[in-house]
Amino acid sequence: MDQFCPDRAATVSKVLREAGKTITIARLDETVGGLSKPSKMPWYSYSLPALACKVGSMLREIPNSVCSKCYAMKGRYQFPNVAAAMERRLTRMNLSPIMWAGTMRELLARKARGQVQYFRWHDSGDLQHQAHLDAIMWLARELPHVKFWLPTKEYQLVSANRKELAEIDNLTVRVSAARIGGTRTADDVFPTSSVGADDGFKCPAYDNGGKCGDCRACWDKTVLNVDYPLH
């Protein structure tokens, strides 16, 4: 796997941009392994296999952890075509974070068309390594009109990058509580999320047909905790 290099990613992006319509959106989409489009979300997301989660895989074995009842280990996420798409995305990102990020930049820029959009990283799955996070931070800087939400249980990885992450206004890292009913603590560096804790802002999607609607709390750094019902 390549280490992430912003200059090389920018070069990839520039070449694709200068190629214009000779490189179609469909080809860009194929190169990154395809975007995901959860029905709940206001725009696109990018899902990876839940089995590839690092911290999540350990939490999955612990009773009463949020990952012990992982929604991405059941339902539509287990359909063969969905599972294959998530594996494809993981492979493309790991193969070359540089090529992946440069291509993703052009894909999202074309789809956003200069409009404010709200993108979720990983409706399934999580951060894989430093190069993955580096690429996500670079993309946020490159696309200031896109608001990015990154829910994660990779506490050590994001904490090691807390200073850089704090400087990126359009990237909200929201650290997930480890156990069902767990709440945020006073020393949390990042905004958080919880499951069944009855603490902070209650996610309204489950009273809104399972959709975000006009709510953007998850993307808002000033919302200190978003609480989801167990599902």
What does each of the 231 residues of the chain score in pLDDT, given as a tens digit?
A: 668 999 999 999 999 999 998 999 999 999 999 999 988 899 999 999 999 999 999 998 999 988 988 887 888 888 899 999 999 999 999 999 999 999 999 999 999 999 999 999 999 999 999 999 999 999 999 999 999 999 999 999 999 999 999 999 999 999 999 899 987 665 678 999 999 998 899 999 989 999 999 999 999 999 999 999 886
Q: What is the amino acid identity at position 4? A: F
The pTM assigned to this predicted structure is 0.95
DSSP secondary structure, 69-103, as one string: G-GGGSGGGGSHHHHHHHHHHHHHHHH-HHHHHHH
d(CA 2, CA 131): 8
d(CA 108, CA 231): 30
- CA angle 3-146-219, nearest 5°? 95
Question: What letter would DSSP give residue 149?
Answer: E
